[in-house]
Amino acid sequence: MPSPFPGMNPYLENPELWMEVHHRLISAIAATIETSLPPSYRVAIEKRIYTQVPEDSILVGIPDVSVVSRRSTTESPTATIVAAPQGLSEALTITLPMPEEVRESYLEIRDMGTGEVITAIEILSPTNKRAGKGREAYVAKREAVLSSATHLVEIDLLREGLPMPIVENLPRSQYRILISRSEQRPRGNLYAFSLRQPIPTIALPLRSDDALLVLELQDLLLTMYDQARYDLAIDYQQNPIPKLVESDVEWCREQLIATGRLGNSI
């Protein structure tokens, strides 16, 4: 069955699914671009790698830290006393937070002849939107791109976390897409939209003498949803994770009832 929502499906933001969703979207965008990209360009899938020690979770060696083993709220780890050999003092056995490698994928449209990066395309991950090395690494890369001749396309399909900085004090939106053309900086184009709206169709900038590439993200998301059989993987009887804002709870319930995923409550 198709996705029950007209735009972004909030259930896809679940940390247990997001790693796969991120990977599939990156691959789908690359495949779509390649079918209409002029022969003077190529699309590369790149990775940003860093280590991180989250405060309340243990990484499992995945791209955007979307699957974690969290400490139970009812049981806290306790230190144990280790019997010491005669003559030595007793010590406590404790657990250390271990740094883990994190890999985040993104796309680059490059000049075929020179290898120059013409356009960088990022889909934000949860680590990019919360304090820590993930955000620091991404913001450093973002600032480098904004200081260069490379265009930036930044896609944020996550309701939770800190949005990326802009100068204007705009009302906060649930989702955002930023198009920053190098020749127009510091001006840029921001598409702000909500759970109830389709994901906007955008144009990917290339060199000034080449036509823009149209990217229909909504169609890509719906196709990916069907191909990955997410309808079988998602339990629509449960509340989305992260939780919806109160004003969207009833609207979400109506969407699920209308599409036969739900009875009387969520």
Task: Write down the pLDDT at residue 113.
Answer: 94
Task: Write down the pLDDT at residue 79.
Answer: 58
SS3 content of the chain, % helix, strand, coil (to 5): 30, 25, 45
* Measured distance CA(31)–CA(21) in Å, rounded: 15
- The residue extents of the domains of the chain are 10-69+94-237
Q: How far is CA 183 from the centre of its chain?
A: 27
> What three-state secondary structure class fits 143?
helix
* Measured distance CA(255)–CA(209) in Å, rounded: 44
Structure tokens belonging to residue 147: 């200081």
Task: Write down the pLDDT at residue 135.
Answer: 92
Q: How far is CA 12 from the centre of its chain?
A: 10
Is there a cis peptide before residue 186, judged by omega within 30 degrees of 0? Answer: yes
**DSSP secondary structure string for all residues of 213-245:** EEEEHHHHHHHHHHHTTHHHH--TTSPPSSPPP
How does pLDDT run along the chain (266 residues), one tens digit per residue? Answer: 899 999 999 999 999 999 999 999 999 999 999 999 999 999 999 987 777 665 544 333 333 332 333 333 445 556 566 566 777 888 888 888 777 777 789 999 999 999 999 999 999 999 999 998 889 989 999 999 999 999 999 999 999 999 999 998 888 899 999 999 999 999 999 999 999 999 999 999 999 899 889 999 999 999 999 999 999 999 999 999 999 999 999 999 999 999 999 876 44
Task: Write down the pLDDT at residue 142.
Answer: 96
Task: Write down the pLDDT at residue 195.
Answer: 97
Task: Write down the pLDDT at residue 96.
Answer: 81
Task: Write down the pLDDT at residue 74.
Answer: 45
Task: Write down the pLDDT at residue 49.
Answer: 75
Is there a cis peptide before residue 165, judged by omega within 30 degrees of 0? Answer: no
Task: Write down the pLDDT at residue 59.
Answer: 37
Task: Write down the pLDDT at residue 143.
Answer: 96
* Measured distance CA(64)–CA(103) in Å, rounded: 7
**DSSP secondary structure string for all residues of 115-134:** --EEEEEEE--GGGGSTTHH
Strand partners, 70: 57
Task: Write down the pLDDT at residue 171.
Answer: 84
Structure tokens belonging to residue 30: 């690359």
* Measured distance CA(63)–CA(106) in Å, rounded: 11
**Helical segments of the chain, H only:** 15-36, 133-146, 217-227, 230-233, 246-258
